[in-house]
Amino acid sequence: MSSSMSEPAMAEVATADGREIWDVPVPPGGWGTPWPQCVELARALPSTQWTLVGGLMVQLHAAAAGMAVSRPTADVDIVLHIETGAATTAAVMAVLSGLGYTLEKSISDDAPAHRFVRGKQQIDVMIADHLTPAKVPRIGGRKPFQVAGGTQALQRTVNCRMTADDDGPVLISIPNALGALVLKGAAYREDSRDKDRHLDDAVVLCATIKSPLAAAALMKGSDKSRILTLHKELADPGHRSWQLLDSADRTTAMDALRILAANHSLPPANRLKLG
């Protein structure tokens, strides 16, 4: 396993569809709502076609790292792998329809289509940023929601093997820890509705990065600016979000964010001395 990713206690180095597989243990208290929805989706739609983001992504990272962190969420948030050709919006909509979901109507035809509902349950379906206009699909005749940072997140996926019911394990794709953290930096910038939640998620993800120097070496493009945004907002060690972690995890997380945000453009020889 690459040391830049979170390191689950029960991990094995294996691949499925070219992705690493992490065996994720059941967290204390089990998998709560809306995990049954997510597992149902995983059985109907292969992990090659979608990647889990949002609160459930953070829960999986925490469980994989053996952390007892609660991240309540009511949503299943997914990003489709349109860029690889593995998924099409039409095929995914057909699967969701078969599961009883319908596309939520909007008061405006200009509003992005993304939310599928089944009673009080919902799945938010998004696509990545940076797709060429010709490749951006429609959902129910409307434009989709394109998630900032989604492209890099889809390029950094791992498969989590998890068991949440009596029907055996499922594979669920998530971005690795660096991909998830960059996604959160982008979300903090773009989403004005709940900025605190993105910072809360970021500190948990930082605590799962055990080898931040190795992760820093993999950063590219907009990664650094998105990490710097988080570093600036979380600069105060007394920030409320840091208090979500126990002291050991807090130290690990603060160190990881500091190292990721540092300037690593020194010549290799000097960098080795500093390491």
The three-state secondary structure class of 117 is strand
The C-alpha angle with vertex 209 and arms to 39 and 178, in degrees rounded to 5, equals: 70
Q: Which long-range contacts (CB under 8 A, 24 or more apart) does 68-72 make?
A: 68/27, 68/28, 69/204, 69/244, 69/245, 71/200, 71/201, 71/204
Contacts of 117 (CB under 8 A, 6+ apart): 101, 102, 104
Tell me the whole-structure pTM to 2 decimals. 0.89
Does an H or E element contain 213, and which? helix 212-217
**pLDDT tens-digit series, residues 64-85:** 999 987 788 999 999 999 988 9
Spatial separation of the C-alpha atoms in residues 238 and 32, rounded to whole Å: 30
Q: For residue 139, give the nearest of 94, 176, 190, 185 by alpha carbon.
A: 94
**pLDDT tens-digit series, residues 116-165:** 999 999 999 999 998 888 889 999 999 999 999 999 999 999 999 999 98
Q: What tokens appear for 90 in the block?
A: 């039409």
Q: Where are the domains of the chain?
A: 15-274
